[in-house]
């Protein structure tokens, strides 16, 4: 069994902060203490650095078909980029297309990941059609470790489910212990606004944002929570972007409801102003929900600090400008929705959250690792530094500065939404189940070394 000793680091979990040593045997953490002296195959000196649980990104779209294109990172390039950024676990989305079983979708995505993923991975199941048979399949999947299901209130005719189907799926999770994740935007309203804008000749990228009002997100967020309340089950709102939607979550949580929500770095660092960049550059930021008014950022940071938002994920779904985003030149509705972010999450949130005084170090770890692990059935195997937990560890240098850009990052996409931005707080060494997979900026892991994570029900 290989052994690894990490010495003199500042160990940070969601609750603790202390100087100590971590001893790893095989793929697990075996001992934590001070002045540990056991011999190890490798010793890492973490003096002056943070020793964090590996990042957990519960919202990624690798190798995903969308609107005649496929997201630019597959499970190999995407998970290697994730590792460089300090993320050691992802939960990606498998898609049930109409007429298909959930198991067919699951098998399809398992094949995409097999032999390619360099870090551990799980799947949420996107349900686009709900029959009695699909409801039974939901139960089976929960038993097989696919314990969460994503439903859409947007994209009518493609992904959108009606309220009755959503309600039935919610009720079902009350019996099988699964969790419903919701894309909350009012797709009917948005569709009408998109058609109207195009008919009026408004075709530039910024109209993507102008046809997806914050109130459409707030309305759907409110409806999703109300449906979950009537079904008596928890709900998790994905990629919350609008202050108006956050108010709905806050109100529900103040009433004691198990309503959870995540936001993403793009909503914390970018804004509607980016759509006004010259030429077709606004297309870089076409994602759903869209970027919001700059003032929203403070509201979201406060939501994160005070636990109205419980997780920060990326919604990583990269499309190149060339040949992919370009499909929407002259018609914003044809721009593939999504942007890259799997690699930049930890540094951005550390820099803009902890260094800027908006989040404590413990809260940073909680939002990027512990809380997503708890919500999605991975804790305590993942999401903390404790004896018996998987040795997914990031040695993080809080003082090193890096300039973000396509030339310094590893995602397979021809632009970066944060191009030129400097961040302080960078990943040094990344360990996945006891193996060093990023060593001083070099990937030393192996494509295919990641395993499928069978997650626990609620
Ligand atoms: Zn998404």
Q: How confident is the model at residue 332 (pLDDT cuts 50, 70, 90)?
A: very high
Q: What is the pLDDT of the chain when averaged over all its residues? A: 98
Express each pLDDT in 39-65 by its tens digit: 999 999 999 999 999 999 999 999 999
Q: How many angstroms separate the alpha carbon of residue 12 from the centre of ligand 1?
A: 29
Q: How many angstroms separate the alpha carbon of residue 286 from the centre of ligand 1?
A: 12
Q: How confident is the model at residue 224 (pLDDT cuts 50, 70, 90)?
A: very high
Q: How many angstroms separate the alpha carbon of residue 319 from the centre of ligand 1?
A: 13
Q: How many angstroms separate the alpha carbon of residue 285 from the centre of ligand 1?
A: 14
Q: Which of 367, 397, 369 is nearest to 385 (CA)?
A: 369
Cis peptide before 114 (omega within 30 of 0): no
Q: How many angstroms separate the alpha carbon of residue 167 from the centre of ligand 1?
A: 21
Find the mean pLDDT for residues 81-108. 98
C-alpha torsion sign, points 338, 343, 344, 345: positive
- The residues that bridge with 6 in the sheet, in sequence order, are 22, 44
Q: How many angstroms separate the alpha carbon of residue 422 from the centre of ligand 1?
A: 26
Q: How many angstroms separate the alpha carbon of residue 241 from the centre of ligand 1?
A: 12
- The residues that bridge with 435 in the sheet, in sequence order, are 432
Find the mean pLDDT for residues 218-246. 98
Q: How confident is the model at residue 17 (pLDDT cuts 50, 70, 90)?
A: very high
For residue 68, what pLDDT is reported? 83
Express each pLDDT in 192-211 by its tens digit: 999 999 999 999 999 999 99
% helix, strand, coil for the chain, step of 5: 35, 25, 40
Q: How many angstroms separate the alpha carbon of residue 84 from the centre of ligand 1?
A: 21
The yes-or-no verdict on residue 270 having pLDDT over 90 is yes
For residue 66, what pLDDT is reported? 86
Q: How many angstroms separate the alpha carbon of residue 339 from the centre of ligand 1?
A: 10
Express each pLDDT in 114-161 by its tens digit: 999 999 999 999 999 999 999 999 999 999 999 999 999 999 999 999
Q: How many angstroms separate the alpha carbon of residue 341 from the centre of ligand 1?
A: 12
Q: Which of 181, 64, 57 is nearest to 113 (CA)?
A: 64
For residue 442, what pLDDT is reported? 97
For residue 416, what pLDDT is reported? 98
Contact, 101 vs 347, CB < 8 A? no
Express each pLDDT in 278-302 by its tens digit: 999 999 999 999 999 999 999 999 9
Q: How many angstroms separate the alpha carbon of residue 192 from the centre of ligand 1?
A: 22
Q: How many angstroms separate the alpha carbon of residue 365 from the centre of ligand 1?
A: 22
Contact, 58 vs 369, CB < 8 A? no
Measured in degrees and rounded to the nearest 5, phi and psi for residue 28 equal -120, 160
Contact, 354 vs 278, CB < 8 A? no
Q: How many angstroms separate the alpha carbon of residue 124 from the centre of ligand 1?
A: 11
Q: How many angstroms separate the alpha carbon of residue 33 from the centre of ligand 1?
A: 40
For residue 390, what pLDDT is reported? 99
Find the mean pLDDT for residues 391-413. 98
Residue 385: C-alpha distances to residues 10, 51, 79, 267, 433 (Å): 12, 9, 21, 29, 12
The yes-or-no verdict on residue 163 having pLDDT over 90 is yes
Q: How many angstroms separate the alpha carbon of residue 38 from the centre of ligand 1?
A: 45
Which residues, chain by chain, have CB under 5 Å from ion ligand 1?
315
Express each pLDDT in 360-394 by its tens digit: 999 999 999 999 999 999 999 999 999 999 999 99
Q: How many angstroms separate the alpha carbon of residue 287 from the centre of ligand 1?
A: 9
**Cβ neighbours around 256 below 10 Å, total:** 7
pTM score above 0.85: yes
Q: How many angstroms separate the alpha carbon of residue 60 from the centre of ligand 1?
A: 6
Q: How confident is the model at residue 38 (pLDDT cuts 50, 70, 90)?
A: very high
How many residues appear in the chain? 458
């Amino acid at each position: 069994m290989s052994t690894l000793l990490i010495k003199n680091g500042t160990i940070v979990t969601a609750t603790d902060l202390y100087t100590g040593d971590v001893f790893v045997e095989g793929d697990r953490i075996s001992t934590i203490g001070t002045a540990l002296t056991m011999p190890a195959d490798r010793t890492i000196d973490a003096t002056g650095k943070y020793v964090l649980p590996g990042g957990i990104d519960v919202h990624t779209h690798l190798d995903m078909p969308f609107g005649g294109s496929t997201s630019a990172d597959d499970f190999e390039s995407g998970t290697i980029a994730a590792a460089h950024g300090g993320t050691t676990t992802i939960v990606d989305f498998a898609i049930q297309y109409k007429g298909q079983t959930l198991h067919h979708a699951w098998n399809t995505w398992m094949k995409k990941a097999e032999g390619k993923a360099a870090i551990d991975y799980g799947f949420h199941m996107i349900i686009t059609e709900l029959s009695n048979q699909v409801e039974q399949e939901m139960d089976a999947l929960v038993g097989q470790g696919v314990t969460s299901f994503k439903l859409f209130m947007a994209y009518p005719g493609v992904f959108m489910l009606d309220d009755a189907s959503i309600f039935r799926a919610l009720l079902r999770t009350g019996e099988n212990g699964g969790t419903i994740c919701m894309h909350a935007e009012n797709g009917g309203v948005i569709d009408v606004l998109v058609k109207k804008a195009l008919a009026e000749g408004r075709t530039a990228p910024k109209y993507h944002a102008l046809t997806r009002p914050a109130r459409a997100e707030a309305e759907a967020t409110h409806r999703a929570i109300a449906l979950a309340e009537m079904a008596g089950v928890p709900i998790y709102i994905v990629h919350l972007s609008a202050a108006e939607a956050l108010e709905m979550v806050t109100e529900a949580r103040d009433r004691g409801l198990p309503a959870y929500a995540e936001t993403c770095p793009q909503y914390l660092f970018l804004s509607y102003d980016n759509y006004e960049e010259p030429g077709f550059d606004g297309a870089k930021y076409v994602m759903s929900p869209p970027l919001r008014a700059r003032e929203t950022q403070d509201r979201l940071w406060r939501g994160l600090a005070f636990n109205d938002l419980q997780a920060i994920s990326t919604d990583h779904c990269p499309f190149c400008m060339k040949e992919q985003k370009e499909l929407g030149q002259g018609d914003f509705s044809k721009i593939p929705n999504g942007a890259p972010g799997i690699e930049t999450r930890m540094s951005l949130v550390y820099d803009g959250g902890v260094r800027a005084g908006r989040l404590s170090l413990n809260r940073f770890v909680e939002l990027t690792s512990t809380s997503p692990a708890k919500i999605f059935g991975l804790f305590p195997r993942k999401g903390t530094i404790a004896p018996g937990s998987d040795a997914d560890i990031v040695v993080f240098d809080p003082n090193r500065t890096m300039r973000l850009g396509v030339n310094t990052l590893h995602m397979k996409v021809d632009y970066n939404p944060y191009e030129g931005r400097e961040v302080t707080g960078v990943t040094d060494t990344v360990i996945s189940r006891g193996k060093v997979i990023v060593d001083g900026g070099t990937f030393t892991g192996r494509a295919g070394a990641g395993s499928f994570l069978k997650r626990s029900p609620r």
